[in-house]
Amino acid sequence: MKPITLFYFVFSFSVFSFAQQNIAKDTTRRTASIEHKNLGNQIEFKANAPELNQIAGAPKAFYTNFWEFGDGTFSKELEPIKTYKKNGDYTVRLWATNNYDTGKPPSTRPKKINVDNAADDYEDEASMDGALNLQRNREPMPDEDIVIVFSYKNTKSYTTNGKFFLFYNEAKYKADNFNLIETRPYHNEKEINDAIVYASKFDSDVYYASAEDNLLSLKAKPQDTTVRRNLPQTLDDAKFTFRNSSQLSFDNMEPNEERHVFYSLKTTKEMLKDTSAIISVRGVYVPDNSYDNHHVKDMEMEIVTSHDPNKMSSNASFLNYRLVRFKKPKFKIRFQNNGEGPATTIRLETDIPEMFDKSSIEVLDMYPKVKICPKYDVAYSCLDTTYTAKQAIFTFKNIYLPGSEQKNVKEYDSTKGFVKYRLKFSNDFHKKKTKSKTAIIFDKNEPIITNYSTTRFLPGISIGVKAGYNSFADLKNSESYFLGATISPYKSYRWYWQVELLNSFHKFDSNTEITEEIVDDGAIGFPYTERTTTNRSYNNIDWEIPVLVRYNVNNYIGLGAGIIGTVSVNEKQKQSVLTEQFEGQGADLFLFDSSTTNEDVTESFTNFRKGFLVEATAGFARIGPSLGARYVFNLEDDYNYLQFYAIWKF
């Protein structure tokens, strides 16, 4: 066998063999297991989690844990020590979240444990300052599960029976963000299936914020835990804002008692793809069925693709351009000190897109909680805000934010902080997508760069009214007026499409047709000349359908080009035929007979014409009135025309 032939055979066999192999995909999801050991009358819990896969260039990867102990209590400590008050079997659950890690969070199977070392006299430490609180184990990620803890407290001096509601899946989004897969109550809370009966009575010993009784006010801003009294209105507003809810009742709650209900929700694959968006759920707590006094709490969450503590998010991911002029979009910058020591200065350098007015920034909330810095230097803790050409700079001064790697720091939430702010749009802003990020600087360390927070506008439709005159230079006695409508995206910035339907009324005469022929008629006895003169006039109703691409040079000048199709939906044709007979030939003709015939013809959907067009407009190019001129090049003879028009877009 020749060397070349041998090489070809070996090469072909190798390629064929490789093609037949199925490369195995690693579809095994990482898992974490629960470990525990007894320490006298306490139990220490640990998570046996898989090794982390560090994101290149990010801070050191680490786990945060959320524990549910099976008795209605929970912990966010990495390795909590738990004291049970009663002996028995308990189902312990763990959710381990990987931060700065390239993979998905590991899954954990619930573990049933037997407790025989309970401390009957043990009292849990009070964890709630108010009557209602909502919290979660981590930020929602598409196609994963999260846990929402609904915590409520009896702040009255007597035993109460009441009810509470969790509302989720905001109606402003087309797709659901969550599916409720399990509710875990631990104090005999029961699902409410009947219609709510309102007490219409109020506890006069509590303070009310009267402004919160206004339904528009409720819809305009996030809810806090201020006591309210108009329960029907609150529930109607929640049903307007959210598509789904869970309703539970409770009994025999002692004064100062705290209870927790755990909701497991599966995030849907259809969850917003924009990973800087803010979504929310709402809790409503009615502490006493005898009264309509109630508490309301909204909890905002940021959609993520990876669980990184340093993040920028916004509730302005999808905006309706028609309705945003006087709105104030909100942004939130989250950060976490992952160092081995505390941070005393934290600097947040955040991009402000040109469509926003930097000077209108209003800080809504922050952690650590500090005062706004005055214009002069101070020694106390404060938040300072300064500006550059394209950035706003938030600086926490003289603070103490512990590091997650710092000794004796058990609660990771204490190492986190945020700034929440809102701002106005500029006086002249355009319909275009923006994105911004933040550089987070702890003391004198290297900056940590967040994700991009994006804002984009929903398409929106602009309906226009258009009227004008068509000038046909090649048609005789032409008169053409039209009225129609246009559809285009609302207030587009530069390039956009436009579709029109124009109804035109067109009168014109065709060119006169004259034919002559020599007739040899034996009845007359001599040959003669017969001349036929034909005149036609038209009265048409035409439909023009232009489809074009337009470009706004600025706010006042626009250009466009496209294609057009025209059909006569109703064509009325009047035809007059004059027949004349002449004796003789050449110049010596003698008319000896003539006759005229008239005929009316009506046809529908005839004379289809197609072509292309160019145009220019001057006026308010994006919205409002403007004047324009268009030239249409038809592919049929005599039908090129110049169009002058006025248009008003709404």
Mean pLDDT over each residue of the chain, to the nearest integer: 85
Q: Looking at residues 80-89, what average pLDDT do you find?
A: 92
Listed range (135-144, 148-157, 311-320, 336-345) with the worst mean pLDDT: 311-320
pLDDT score at 366: 93
Give the start-to-end residue ranges of the domains of the chain.
Answer: 30-125, 311-457, 461-649
Listed range (264-273, 294-303, 599-608) with the worst mean pLDDT: 264-273
What confidence category does residue 194 fall into, taking pLDDT thresholds of 50, 70 and 90?
low
What's the rounded Cα separation, in Å, for the pair 274 and 142? Answer: 10
Q: Looking at residues 212-218, what average pLDDT do you find?
A: 38
Listed range (310-319, 374-383, 574-583, 595-604) with the worst mean pLDDT: 310-319
Residues 6+ apart with CB under 8 A from 305: 141, 142, 275
What's the rounded Cα separation, in Å, for the pair 230 and 286? Answer: 11
What confidence category does residue 9 fall into, taking pLDDT thresholds of 50, 70 and 90?
very low
pLDDT score at 5: 43
Listed range (214-218, 220-224, 366-370) with the worst mean pLDDT: 214-218
Q: Looking at residues 484-511, what average pLDDT do you find?
A: 92
Q: Looking at residues 90-95, what average pLDDT do you find?
A: 96
What confidence category does residue 233 fall into, taking pLDDT thresholds of 50, 70 and 90?
very high
Instruction: Kindly tell me if the per-residue pLDDT of 208 is higher than 60.
Output: no
Taking only the tens place, the pLDDT of each residue in 131-155 is 999 999 988 888 888 999 999 999 9
CA atoms in the 13 A half-sphere facing the CB of 343: 26
Taking only the tens place, the pLDDT of each residue in 453-470 is 888 887 789 999 999 999
pLDDT score at 223: 64
Fold annotation for 461-649: Porin (2.40.160)
pLDDT score at 301: 87
Listed range (340-354, 550-564, 587-601) with the worst mean pLDDT: 587-601
Residue 299 CB burial class (10 angstroms; 0-12, 13-18, ≥19): buried
Q: Looking at residues 6-20, what average pLDDT do you find?
A: 41
pLDDT score at 394: 96
Go through the chain and tell me how many residues it has. 650
Instruction: Kindly tell me if the per-residue pLDDT of 262 is higher than 90.
Output: yes
Instruction: Kindly tell me if the per-residue pLDDT of 28 is higher than 70.
Output: no
Listed range (26-35, 186-195, 269-278, 383-392) with the worst mean pLDDT: 269-278
pLDDT score at 154: 94
> Do residues 387 and 333 lie in contact, with contact meaning Cβ atoms separated by under 8 Å?
no
Phi first, then psi: give them for residue 63, nearest 5 degrees. Answer: -100, 145
Instruction: Kindly tell me if the per-residue pLDDT of 128 is higher than 50.
Output: yes
Quick check: do 30-125 and 311-457 share a fold?
A: yes
pLDDT score at 196: 54
pLDDT score at 4: 43
Angle at alpha carbon of residue 31, lines to 404 and 59, rounded to 5°: 30
Dihedral angle at the C-alpha atoms of 65, 69, 73, 78, nearest 10 degrees? -20
What confidence category does residue 199 fall into, taking pLDDT thresholds of 50, 70 and 90?
low
pLDDT score at 2: 44
Q: 137 vs 146, 219, 301, 358, CA distance in Å?
A: 6, 27, 11, 34
Instruction: Kindly tell me if the per-residue pLDDT of 448 is higher than 60.
Output: yes
Q: 469 vs 480, 613, 628, 636, CA distance in Å?
A: 6, 16, 11, 20
pLDDT score at 446: 87
What confidence category does residue 217 fall into, taking pLDDT thresholds of 50, 70 and 90?
very low
Of 162-166, 429-433, 599-603, give the range with the top mean pLDDT: 162-166
> Tokens standing for 71?
């008795």
What's the rounded Cα separation, in Å, for the pair 360 and 367? Answer: 21
Beta-bridged to residue 37, according to DSSP, are 44
**Does the domain at residues 30-125 carry the CATH identifier 2.60.40.10?**
yes
- With a threshold of 0.85, does the pTM exceed it? no
What's the rounded Cα separation, in Å, for the pair 330 and 271? Answer: 20
What's the rounded Cα separation, in Å, for the pair 571 and 504? Answer: 12
Instruction: Kindly tell me if the per-residue pLDDT of 526 is higher than 80.
Output: no
Fold annotation for 311-457: Immunoglobulin-like (2.60.40)
The amino acid that residue 604 corresponds to is S
Beta-bridged to residue 548, according to DSSP, are 498, 562
What confidence category does residue 218 fall into, taking pLDDT thresholds of 50, 70 and 90?
very low
pLDDT score at 203: 62
Sign of the alpha-carbon dihedral angle for 400, 404, 408, 414: positive
The amino acid that residue 546 corresponds to is P
Angle at alpha carbon of residue 243, lines to 237 and 245, rounded to 5°: 85
pLDDT score at 211: 32
pLDDT score at 214: 38
pLDDT score at 24: 40
Q: 564 vs 483, 539, 620, 631, 648, CA distance in Å?
A: 16, 21, 24, 11, 21
Using DSSP, state whether 473 is helix, strand or coil: coil
> Do residues 167 and 245 lie in contact, with contact meaning Cβ atoms separated by under 8 Å?
yes
Instruction: Kindly tell me if the per-residue pLDDT of 237 is higher than 90.
Output: yes
Taking only the tens place, the pLDDT of each residue in 366-394 is 999 999 999 898 999 999 999 998 999 99
